[in-house]
Structure 1
Amino acid sequence: MTWSSVLGALLLICMGAAGAVWQAERYYRPLLDGTNGQLTSCNAARGNLEELTNEQGLKLGELVQAGQRRQDQAEQALKQAAILAKDEFAAANRLQRELTGGNECAAATEVIDQELGL
């Protein structure tokens, strides 16, 4: 075997490998380009969704805080109303007892009868 035949065999092997690489590149390049485009779109969509999720979380937190403030204000208003109405309830109970002779059961019965229209 001579050097020229070994060199020729190596040259043919190299040309076959180069042809195989070229064919593989021709086949896989469009697939890779399409997949890269989809990856870019997915990454952009994920970024948008993360932004929207963060924004929604902030708004939800604001709503929870506003609801808590309204609840606190309502509780405070109820306490103030109870304090203001305390004297009126006492006066109404005193008048009712006077009308019924001091019997609380009779006073309750009379109020219930009035509510029922009896």
Structure 2
Amino acid sequence: MNAGAWRAAGIPLAMVLVLALGAALGAWLTSRHYRPLLDIAQVDLATAKAGRDNMEALAGEQGRKLGDLVLAGQERERRAAQAQADAQELAQHDYSAGNRLLQERTGGDPAPAAESIIDQELGL
């Protein structure tokens, strides 16, 4: 091979070598620039995931507590209705006796009886 052939083969080889060195240098500079940003983003991602997991746990716990409160409210409502029914049953005798007294006192009509009792209470 003569000098011209070596030169013809060396120029493309040199260009490829310069391009490879440029690409390597570009990759190194890029990694130096973006690595801290990627590290910060990774930390932020880990923090966000931990926060999300915490919020999911709190939402689940809140849902369970809300369900417990609903059940407790229903139980209180049931007990209140039962207590009201029991009280009404216990007061039935007294209510009947009061109506009898009212009817005896005024002649039997409950409206004038209530009116006279209210008038007495108000001093009219």
Instruction: Give the TM-score category using the shorter length.
Output: over 0.9
Unmatched tracts of structure 1, length 5 or more: none
Q: CA deviation at 1:63?
A: 0.8
Q: Does residue 22 of the first structure (1) align with residue 11 of the second (2)?
A: no
What residue number does 2:114 align with? 108
What residue number does 1:37 align with? 43
Does the residue aligned with 1:2 lie in a helix, a strand or coil? helix
Instruction: Map 1:1-118 to 2 at 5 A.
Output: 2-118=8-124
Q: CA deviation at 1:116?
A: 2.6
Check 1:62–1:117 CA distance in 2 against 1; reply closer, same or farther (3 A cut): farther
The percent of aligned pairs where both chains have the same amino acid is 46
Q: Normalising by the residue count of structure 2, what TM-score does the alignment of the two structures yield?
A: 0.88
Check 1:114–1:72 CA distance in 2 against 1; reply closer, same or farther (3 A cut): farther
Q: CA deviation at 1:102?
A: 1.9
Count of equivalent residues: 118
Unmatched tracts of structure 2, length 5 or more: 1-6
